[in-house]
Every structure is written in structure tokens, then in C-alpha cells.
Amino acid sequence: MAKLVGVYGMVHTPFCYIPPEKWSDIRGSRNLRADVPFDGDKAEGKAQRIRDAFADLKEKIAASRPDVLVIFGDDQREYLDFDNYPSFAIYAGEQFAGPLSFHDTVQYLHPNEGIEVPERTIKGHPGLASAMLTGLRDRDFDPAFCLNTESTPHMGHAFMRPLESVTDFSVAVVPIMINCYFAPQTTAKRCYQFGKAIGEIITAYPEDLRVAVIGSGGLWHTPGAKNAYLDEKFDLESLRCLEAGDAGGAARFFDTYQVPPGDTSQPIGERNRTSTGLPSSTGPQGGTREFCNWIAAAAVADGKPWTVVDYVPVYSSPIGAGFAFCNL
């Protein structure tokens, strides 16, 4: 039988990979609320904390010796598109590829210079992915499936950045795409229920596999939004729920959040590249909704307490860079 050996949560912000001396330049190109502090001379120290947190999680994952990584992430029109955008989708192919974080450096620091971005090809695990598809069907979920056809598909940054930061690319991966970004987004409650179902399917899988799970993204951030700010209290309460082993409580806290009147950093109903213009779900808007990937991951081992490795407020983005784990 398969064994769940660890659950991990981590951010995938470009600021994890962009040199800290460039953070202020990027901040200058953004529209932040006037009361957002500056990172200033603390930027290097924050960048080092991020590197240390990634190294800590990488060491813990290596020590758990997983045969397969299951990653809950969101696709931001990198693999999927609005022609047909599912709430949940599982990649069941034999391999996939994607760009490394050098893409972020090129995008932010060397735009339009034609610099080639390196990629890596990752092994999938069709057996476990297929078991998830049928197991979810039997638990009243209807996820989409994705397969490679004539070419190797490209996964987005929610999957590639964690793989680059906490693995050596040798472990097979099952990417699970959750629509926590584009309205009408999946609710945190549904992500919690989905994660619990995935946990049941993993532990019932008949093959002798060691499985680790990653929740990718978050925490609070509204990339590129007008008057963006960082709600550190929201992040810390979300993490407190996980530290208590209460993934369901984290979902309830998330879904009951109300966007403050006049908060232009969390637009609702607009249509652009990052917004459908369709009615939004309750809870925070924008990239903050990636915390639903953490909630799904936590629900896989529901009731087990997490340990927070670090929480780094990066004001230049702004984003709450969180790192945590649940060893089993």
C-alpha cells in the first residue's frame, strides 16, 4: 500500500529567484498602497531567509524519500486556457516539461531581449494519477484529465518552481491543477473536501509507494493590482490554523473573508488577462487564493499539525512568503 510521508507548503513568487538588489526597481514599477513599508536594506536578509527556507524543505523532502510528489497548484493560462477551464484537473501523462526560474529573471530584468529560457522534463506517474481520477469519481468529484499527445505539455510556474527549489528533478510528479485564481474560483471548502479525498485515494493505492504532497503558491498577494498591500494578519491566522492541524478551519476562515469596500487591489467583475469578469467566489481575490492549494494539501493529512519554517513579508511585491511542513 502507498504511504503518505510528508506534506509541504511553499510560495512560488518570482521574488524567490530575483536578486534582492533588484526588488526596489520592481517595486517602483508597481502601484502599491502608500502605507506599504519598504524592504530597503532588509531585502538581502529576507532573500537569504527565503533561500534557507527552501533548503530546509528540500532537506526534509529528501529525508522522507518519496517515490512520487503530488503537487496542488494553479494554472494561470500556461497549460489550460479559457476555452475550457476546469475547477480540478489531473495530469495523467508520462512526462511534462516547463521553464526554470531563470524565466523570471528574463521576464523582469531582461524583457524583449530574446534570451533562451532553460527547461526541464519531469516524469509523471500515470498509475497514481489514474487511481486519483477514478477514486475521485467514486467520491462524487468530476475532475478533468490531461494527457500528453503528440508533444510533451508544458506545466506552469506553480509546479516548476517548487520542483526546482526543493527537489533534484528525479522524483515522479502528479500535477493537480486547481482553479483558485480565475472567477468563479473553487472555494476553500471544496478544496478542503478535494484534498481529503486525495488523501484517502493515496493511502488506498495498492502499489508500494512513498508519496509526498506539496501545496504551491500564496500567501497574500495581488500581483500587479492597484493599491496592493500585504495583509500579514490574514496570513498569520491562516498559518495558525494549519499549525493547529485544522485545515477545515483554515478553509472556513478563508471563505468568510470579505473584501473591504473600495479595495481596488482585489477587483471583482473586471475582464482582463488575469480575470474572467465572471462572478467571483467569496474570500480574498487575486493571487491570495493560491492558499487554497495549501488547504488542499493540508486536508490530505487532515488533523495533523504543521510546523511553520518561516514567514517572510516581502513588501516590494508585496507578498507573504510562507514555508511550512507536516512530517508524517
Give the tens place of pLDDT for each residue, 143-154.
999 998 777 888
Question: Does residue 292 have a pLDDT over 90?
Answer: yes
**What CATH number should be reported for the domain holding residue 49?**
3.40.830.10
* Structural domains of the chain, count: 1
Model pLDDT for residues 249-283, shown as the tens digit of each residue: 999 999 999 999 999 998 766 666 666 777 788 89
Angle, vertex CA 199, rays to CA 194 and CA 205, nearest 5:
125
pLDDT in the model for residue 271: 66
Give the residue, 286 or 195, on which the prediction is more confident.
195
Is 327 or 42 the better-scoring residue by pLDDT? 42
Q: To the nearest whole number, what is the mean pLDDT of the chain? A: 92
Q: What is the mean pLDDT of residues 68-82?
A: 91
pLDDT tens profile 121-145: 999 999 999 999 999 999 999 999 9
Mean pLDDT of 153-158: 90
Task: Determine the distance from the C-alpha atom of residue 84 to the mean position of all C-alpha atoms in its chain, rounded to a whole number.
Answer: 21
Name the nearest CA neighbour of 186 among 273, 272, 88: 88
Q: Collapse the DSSP code of 312 into the 3-class scheme (helix H, G, I; strand E, B; otherwise coil) and give the result.
A: strand
pLDDT of residue 217: 95
What is the pTM assigned to this prediction? 0.94
The neighbour count for residue 36, using CB atoms within 10 Å, is 18
Beta strands in the chain (DSSP E): 3-10, 68-73, 88-91, 95-99, 119-123, 144-146, 172-178, 210-216, 271-272, 275-276, 307-314, 319-327
The CA distances from residue 144 to 84, 90, 107, 177, 288, in Å, are 10, 6, 31, 9, 24
Rounded CA separation 118/101 (Å): 9
For the chain, state the CA radius of gyration: 18
Could you tell me which of 56, 58, 8, 70 has the C-alpha nearest to residue 211?
A: 70
Q: What domain range includes position 169?
A: 3-327
Query: Which band of pLDDT confidence, cut at 50, 70 and 90, is reported for residue 231?
Result: very high
Give the confidence band of 35 by pLDDT, cuts at 50, 70, 90.
very high
Q: What pLDDT is recorded for position 105?
A: 66
Instruction: Please state whether beta strands 307-314 and 319-327 pair in parallel, antiparallel, or not at all (unpaired).
Output: antiparallel
**Residue 184 preceded by cis peptide, ω within 30:** yes
